[in-house]
């Protein structure tokens, strides 16, 4: 599909740049913001979270990042704070390790967990669902 707007395309370019540089800690915020926009403008993508309420807490172990992602019936809110009652909390060493965990072409989910690069606390099924949403976004943004 066509990337639907200039603003989104610009965000996606920035997102890709963060992965090629050492600024990987920006990866999560950019990913969530692109996701949020995509839910707003793409009906099919929004269908994935219709009737879905999910609360995610992401924390980097160095304390530089604390991001809450709240899905609520077709919408996504992103908040840079500790949220109440998350279904799952994901703690990660840094943005790079989170990227490897979620989106790298050669994903290393188990390796990330075994090495304790990424630790989870809570309902893993919510993480699996988030993984699907992230992966689908990536496939939409990089067709072919």
Partner 1 sequence: MITLEDIRLSEYTLEHLPRLEELRRLSFVRKPEICIERARCITKYLKYRDDPTDSPELRQAKKVHHFLRRKAARFHDCNLLAGTTTSKALGAPLFPEFFALSLWPELETVSTREKNPQALSAEDARELNQLIFPFWMDRSVLEVARTRFDNPKCLKLFESLVFFIAGKAGCISHCVPTYTPMLEKGLVGLIDEATAREAEASQAGGGVNSRQVQFYRAIKIALQGIIEYAGHLADEAAYQARIIDDPELKKEFADMAEVCRQVPAHPARSFREAVNAIWICQIGMHAENINMAMSPGRLDQVLYPYFRRDMDTGRLDIAGAMELIGCLWLKISDNVIMVPEASEEMFGGAGTVPAITLGGVDSQGEDAVNDLTYLMLRVTELLKIRDPNVNARYHYEKNSDDYRRRVAEVIINTRAVPAFFNDVANIKALCGQGETLAHARDYAVIGCVELASSGRDYPASSSIMLNLSAAMEMALYGGRRPITGETQIGPATAPAAQITSFEQFWEAFKQQLDWLIDQAVQTNEILGAVHQEMMPSPLLSAFFEGPMQNGRDLIQGGALYNSSGATHIGFADTVDSLSAIESAVFARQKVSFTELVQAMENDFSGADGEKLRLYLKNQTPKYGTEDPIARKNARNLVGHLFRTYQSRTNYRGGKYRPAYWTMTNHAGLGGISGAMPNGRKSGGLFASGITPVSGAAPELTACLNAVAELGGEQVPGCWALNIKYTPEDDVAAMSQRFAQTIEAYFRAGGQQVQFNIMDYAMLKDAKKHPENYPELMVRVSGYSAYFKDLNDLMKDELITRTQYGLTDGRAVPFNDD
Stretch that binds partner 1, among 25-33, 62-70, 71-79, 102-110 (CB under 8 A): 102-110
Does residue number 142 form part of the binding site for partner 1 (CB under 8 A)?
no
Site string for partner 1, 12-51 (x = CB under 8 A): -----------------------------------xx--x
Q: Please state the closest distance from residue 31 (CB atom) to partner 1, in A.
A: 14
Stretch that binds partner 1, among 7-15, 20-28, 68-76, 99-107 (CB under 8 A): 99-107
**Which H/E stretch holds residue 12?**
helix 6-20
**Which H/E stretch holds residue 70?**
strand 66-72
Does residue number 73 form part of the binding site for partner 1 (CB under 8 A)?
no
Cα 126 to Cα 144: distance, rounded to the nearest angstrom: 28
Does residue number 132 form part of the binding site for partner 1 (CB under 8 A)?
yes
Cα 41 to Cα 79: distance, rounded to the nearest angstrom: 20
Site string for partner 1, 104-123 (x = CB under 8 A): --xxxxxx-xxxx--xxxxx
Does residue number 129 form part of the binding site for partner 1 (CB under 8 A)?
yes
Residue 16 CB: number of other CB atoms within 10 A? 14
**Residue entry with tokens 């809110």:** 77
Which phi and psi angles does 117 have, rounded to 5°? -65, -35
């Amino acid at each position: 599909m066509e990337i639907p707007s200039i603003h989104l395309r610009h965000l996606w370019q920035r997102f890709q740049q963060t992965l090629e540089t050492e600024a990987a800690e920006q990866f999560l915020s950019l990913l969530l913001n692109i996701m949020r926009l995509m839910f707003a403008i793409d009906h099919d993508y929004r269908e994935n979270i219709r009737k879905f309420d999910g609360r995610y807490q992401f924390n980097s172990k160095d304390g530089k990042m604390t991001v809450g992602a709240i899905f609520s019936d077709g919408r996504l809110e992103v908040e840079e704070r500790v949220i109440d009652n998350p279904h799952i909390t994901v703690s990660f060493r840094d943005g790079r390790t989170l990227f490897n965990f979620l989106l790298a072409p050669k994903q290393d989910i188990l390796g990330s967990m075994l090495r304790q690069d990424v630790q989870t606390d809570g309902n893993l099924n919510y993480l699996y669902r988030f993984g699907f949403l992230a992966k689908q976004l990536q496939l939409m943004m990089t067709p072919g």
